[in-house]
Amino acid sequence: MALTKNKKVLDFVEESAALGQPDKIVWIDGSAAQIKALKEEAVKSGELIKLNENLLPDCYLHRTKVNDVARVEDRTFICTKNKEDAGPVNYWMDPKQAYELASEIARGSMKGRTMYVIPYSMGVVGSDFAKIGIEVTDSIYVVLNMNIMTRVGKQCLDSLGKNGDFIKGFHAKCDVDAEKRYIMHFPEDNTIISVNSAYGGNVLLGKKCFALRIASYLGKNEGWMAEHMLILGVTYPDGTKKYVAAAFPSACGKTNLAMLIPPEHYIKKGYKIECVGDDIAWIRVGDDGRLWAVNPENGFFGVAPGTNEHSNYNALQSTKRGTIFTNVALNTDDMTVWWEGLSKELPEHCIDWTGKPWNPEKFDKKDKSTCAAHPNSRFTAPAVNCPCVSPEFNSKKGVPLSAIIFGGRRASTTPLVYQSRDWNHGVFVGSAMSSETTAAATGATGVLRHDPMAMKPFAGYHMGDYFQHWIDMGKKVKNPPKIFNVNWFRQDENGNFMWPGFGDNMRVLEWILKRCDENPVDADETAIGYVPKAEDIDISELDYDISEGKKFDLNALKEILTVDKEKWYKEAEEIENYYNTAIRSRIPAELWESLDTLKKNCYVEKPAAKKTTAAKTTAKKPAAKTTKVATAKPAAKKPATKKSK
Ligand code: OXD
Ligand code: MN
């Protein structure tokens, strides 16, 4: 029975049913009884495998089809009337063509099945931040995951009332045919359509599709921001709390940073980290002129491999009840789950993520095809399970941000941490982010690519306009957070990680927040921004072997704080090339200015002996000759035909 009198909702459900032609329609009211019955039904049909009730109460395992294990960026479309509005880094489809294509694919695909109607809220129901979505789907797996990841049920419809607007989401599994898989967004119609997939990032429509792609578009029009960011709170020994939001590309450690456990001596002093969110932040300007952030989600859709007691105790604890695991291995000895990195010992009897018996003797860490769990296997865990979930998790107001951090996987060039000179320069730093690709999306992994603000796959409109929106937001905020960049992934010449990462990132966080104090700790002004004086990062009680016989020490820290101007000049040229060839238009003038400054700051004239390289690096520079840092401005080459705003 319909749970609402909202005509727009009823019409959407009717139209969806007319298209999918399900045998039955079930409205999800979010009651425990209904969810329990659905789990039982999914276990009966084999869609879910019930895990050991004593060891993992109310936990289940699901396996996707082998062709359906990650987000599919090349099949994800932004369907705006004007192609230019989707921008050059998104795939675009004409809305009319997209609706027709989706209808053709989905027509009658729910025959013999049930269509579930999921009313859900992104954000605390009834808060200023919250937005309501309705997802129709023919997958129980989607219902159960949405029930963890969002706030689901009748209260969402009640908050819509008779006339309220919502985001429409239509999902049909169809035949999970990769060739007919489409994830379509219609930002101008508040609509999402997903067909032929059952992988979380493509089908839990509240997450990437709504809370990032559609929401980023809404944010631009309504004056707020939807970002691919974790939010964490630092509690100081005197009880003061400060909050930070941080953007990293997919599978680059957002969940780990959000749930970090500080080194022992910090804990003893009384420091604590609390997690507000691990993936998405919605950010608004508060009455006090600061930026305030909420996590619109209600759970964690985390990457399983590599998660263990030491790397992320809190995430692991979060998966101990009420969790759905996807594409991990099943330990048949005790009906629990396993993935690479969960324990050093390999389980003797496992079924791998494809459903076949796994042979631990054939396991080779470097060969993904021998893994028991898929590299992008996931856990969907309720946020309430997390031992360090913030008391502000359900706050309607959100939390005030002291700092925004950008970061990516960079083996070289980018120092451990640096601070931008101001907001606009911070926007430039975010726009210039690049990182090595991971298994979260289909395609090759480990390839360095530009991923501005970690939003390349998620900005629902033109990337140049998105940069402009950041610049515009800066003008609205009287007390903006300071903007930083971090890189936990610097490697030495032998490929060893030079920074321990994980809990020790607390040491960097502490410095970042000291820079946000009224009387900030001092820093060195360099060509790229403010870099810490090595002595100001606490490395006491740090015991880390970079490689055999090479311990991390002050010199190693100095090394990863070094700014190599030559490398940064190349980086600047690379950014310039990216702006000119990938984004092409609508890049704000403020970003060109920052790029010019970077080039100017990093220009080092080559000694005569290195003539060939010197000739190459100066090729794009103005003729003026200088010593050391050029005083002449090596201006960035903007597109000649289009004016930047
Ligand atoms: C995610 C992703 O699932 O970024 O969070 O892919
Ligand atoms: Mn993500």
The residue whose C-alpha atom lies closest to atom 1 belonging to ligand 1 is 250
Distance from C-alpha of 149 to C-alpha of 147, rounded to nearest angstrom: 6
What is the rounded average pLDDT of the residues 636-642?
A: 53
- 329 CA to middle of ligand 2, Å? 22
At residue 645 the predicted structure's pLDDT band, cuts being 50, 70 and 90, is very low
What is the rounded average pLDDT of the residues 86-98?
A: 97
Q: Which H or E run includes 320?
A: none
- 240 CA to middle of ligand 1, Å? 31
Bridge partners for 381 per DSSP: 300
The mean pLDDT value of the chain amounts to 93
Instruction: Kindly list the protein residues whose Cβ atom lies closer than 6 A to any atom of ligand 1.
Output: 71, 201, 250, 279, 301, 440
Helix, strand, coil percent values for the chain (each to nearest 5): 35, 20, 45
Name the DSSP letter for residue 129: T
The residue whose C-alpha atom lies closest to atom 4 belonging to ligand 1 is 250
What is the rounded average pLDDT of the residues 1-12?
A: 94
Residue 620 pLDDT greater than 90, yes or no = no
Any alpha helices (H) in 161-312, and if so which ranges? Answer: 200-203, 215-222, 254-258, 264-269
Distance from C-alpha of 194 to C-alpha of 422, rounded to nearest angstrom: 40
Closest ligand 1 atom to residue 250 Cα is 4
At residue 182 the predicted structure's pLDDT band, cuts being 50, 70 and 90, is very high
Residue 116 pLDDT greater than 50, yes or no = yes
At residue 305 the predicted structure's pLDDT band, cuts being 50, 70 and 90, is very high
At residue 317 the predicted structure's pLDDT band, cuts being 50, 70 and 90, is very high
The residue whose C-alpha atom lies closest to atom 2 belonging to ligand 1 is 250
* DSSP codes joined into one string, 515-540: HTSSSPPPEEE-SSSEEE-GGGS--T
- 498 CA to middle of ligand 1, Å? 26
The number of angstroms, rounded, from the C-alpha of 492 to the middle of its chain's C-alpha atoms is 27
pLDDT at residue 418, as a whole number: 98
- Ligand 1 pocket check: which of 208, 210, 252, 453 to mutate, most ligand atoms within 8 Å of Cβ? 208
More confident residue, 628 or 266: 266
> From the candidates 252, 275, 350, 388, which is the catalytic residue?
252
Reported as a single tens digit per residue, the pLDDT across 39-68 is 999 999 999 999 999 999 999 999 999 999
At residue 631 the predicted structure's pLDDT band, cuts being 50, 70 and 90, is very low
252 is catalytic: yes
The residue whose C-alpha atom lies closest to atom 3 belonging to ligand 1 is 201
Residue 366 pLDDT greater than 90, yes or no = no
pLDDT at residue 641, as a whole number: 36
Residue 428 pLDDT greater than 60, yes or no = yes
What is the rounded average pLDDT of the residues 456-483?
A: 98
Closest ligand 1 atom to residue 71 Cα is 6
Q: At what angle do helices 95-106 and 7-20 cross, to 10 degrees?
A: 60
| First-to-last C-alpha distance (Å) of the chain | 52
At residue 606 the predicted structure's pLDDT band, cuts being 50, 70 and 90, is confident
Q: Which H or E run includes 177?
A: none
pTM, two decimals, is 0.94
Residue 417 pLDDT greater than 80, yes or no = yes
Closest ligand 1 atom to residue 201 Cα is 3
Closest ligand 1 atom to residue 70 Cα is 6
Residue 443 pLDDT greater than 90, yes or no = no
Reported as a single tens digit per residue, the pLDDT across 135-162 is 999 999 999 999 999 999 999 999 999 9
Reported as a single tens digit per residue, the pLDDT across 506-547 is 999 999 999 999 999 999 999 999 999 999 999 999 999 999
Residue closest to 226 by CA, chosen among 560, 455, 457: 455
